[in-house]
Structure 1
Amino acid sequence: MYKTTPLAAALLLVASGNLMANEHLAEIEQSGTNNTAEQIQSGALQRSFIVQNGTENNALTDQSGSSGEGSQASIEQSGTLNSAAIYQVHGSRPGLASAAVYQTGSSNSAHIEQQESLGELSATATVSQQGSGNQLDATQTWVGNELNVVSAGQDNTVTIDQSGFSTANVQQSGVANQVQLEQVSFGIGGGFAVIEQDGTANQADIYQSSGRYPAGDVFLQQLGTANIAQIRAGDGYSTLDYTQRGTGNELNAHFSGQGSRISGYSEGSYNLVDIAQAGDDNSLDVAQVGSYNQIDAYQGFHVHEAFISQTGDNNQAFLRQETLSYDNASASIIQNGSGNIASVVQQ
């Protein structure tokens, strides 16, 4: 079922003479149709490499065990209907884990699971998908996680679940791209997310939470047509910095904690921004350039600041601020153009 190349054999011979007894190295290379490659490793200092070319390829690397020290896995596939899965699930010993998946073609799927139960595992993963119908499902738990994703093509879907001071960087280009990211942290640190989408009918759904501590920071950029973004933060001192350029863009941001900071810029026509900030000491700074744009913003509880700027025709801005009688709230709306509507309610 498996094919070991001369290169792999040479590497194994060198490894037997130079690596310590508890180190593991494996390599598989396959080409053709309906290939399957599996590598299961346990112990410390694991190295796994799989390369497949063809149709209906399946690759699995499982580096689970009591130690996650030095786990490294790489899967590279080209063709159609490829499937790649990497598991790095470890017990109580600290260590490092890294995973990489590279796929080109159509109908590709990738699954990455990096988990540490009791130790101090720092997990990193890199995924690149080129083609149509690509799917990625990634899970990272514990502390110091980092995930970098690049997907290009049509009908690409990225689903990410992270916990523990995690960083996610996702770049998508093409048509009908989707990214769903959930970052749940603990302690004094939150999540950090950078999402870039370029194309048509892009969708981004981001959620951050960290108990009573800062939930995290989100940097969002969407370029193209019919972009939709939903940002939610469950705790205080969260930030959102967004840019949308194109036609028919929509942003929905709901922050429930205190001290949230939202700043953004949208350029184009028929853009819609819906923002809700609940908690204390919130700030909002939003600018829109174009026609038929709309902003609907709400700030609740104590001490708010809001600045809204619209340039163009037939724009609408609605702002509502709720505070206690002794709190301060400031609001500023600037509109340039024709047929604009502005409404401010402070209570």
Structure 2
Amino acid sequence: MKLKVTLIAAAIAMSSGYAMADVNEAITYQKGWGNDASVDQTSGMRHYADIWQDGVKNTSDIVQRGDRHNAVTDQFGTGNDVQVDQRGSSNSAYHFQDGWFNKSSSDQRGSRNTATVHQFGAGNSSSVAQNGSRNDADVWQNGMMNRSAVDQRGSYQQATVTQSHFGNSSDIEQRGHHQNADVDQSGSKNSSDISQSGDGWFAGYNYASVNQSGYYDSSTIDQSGFANVAKTTQSGFNNDADVSQKGTKNYSKVDQSGWNDIASVDQQGAFNVSKITQAAAGPMSWMSNNATHIQQGFKNVATSQQHGGGNTARIVQ
């Protein structure tokens, strides 16, 4: 049976002169065996919490402090767990899990932050930490043992993570304002690590995109400064891309589709462009191709294309 608890101050019940704006609302619905739902709204006002659980041994825990928070959790299956902690004002969190032993948490500080998490399968885990204003994190995971961590501090940060199949890992750290990160991993045992920072008038607006559809591929992107763009696309097996950009409006694109390929990009300065394409071809395709670009200064351009195996390219400007 659905239980609806409405917390209203005694004065409101006695006098119609008080506005209904001070009402906290919590709703729980549970079906199955051994489920546990907890809502704590003892501090603040105008909070809304909704927990729906259907299955065995699912747990939801929502804590709301401050003003006007919104939290919704829906869980189906066995042994799933959601933890929501909201402080500040007008933060929103939505968690949906369907499967077995998935775990999801959101920790929100500040105002008007949004966290949305969908997980399907078994043993997936997601954590979202937001401190600031108007940050947004959207996580979708489908499969087994995938892991996502998003840490946003600042304002107007955007992080999107989509992972499927088995054992993928994504870490996104954003500092400053107007950072944007997009991760899509559809293979197995791939890993992505994105770090973006930038404060001040001439900082922020960095963009990072990672698309990995192979196995055991690894991508690292580290960006600081203003309006840098990094795009990494990898398929195949055990490829590695490492991109570091510091400065203003640098651009990096890495595309690898072979086996054991390695790409390394280091750009400092402004308006530098780096493009690396490496692909397997021929009987030696299992051997590692290796490309390195190091650029410092202004408006340098480096392009490397390698097909086959065992090739090495190095550009320093």
Q: TM-score, normalised to structure 2's length? A: 0.45
Q: TM-score, normalised to structure 1's length? A: 0.42
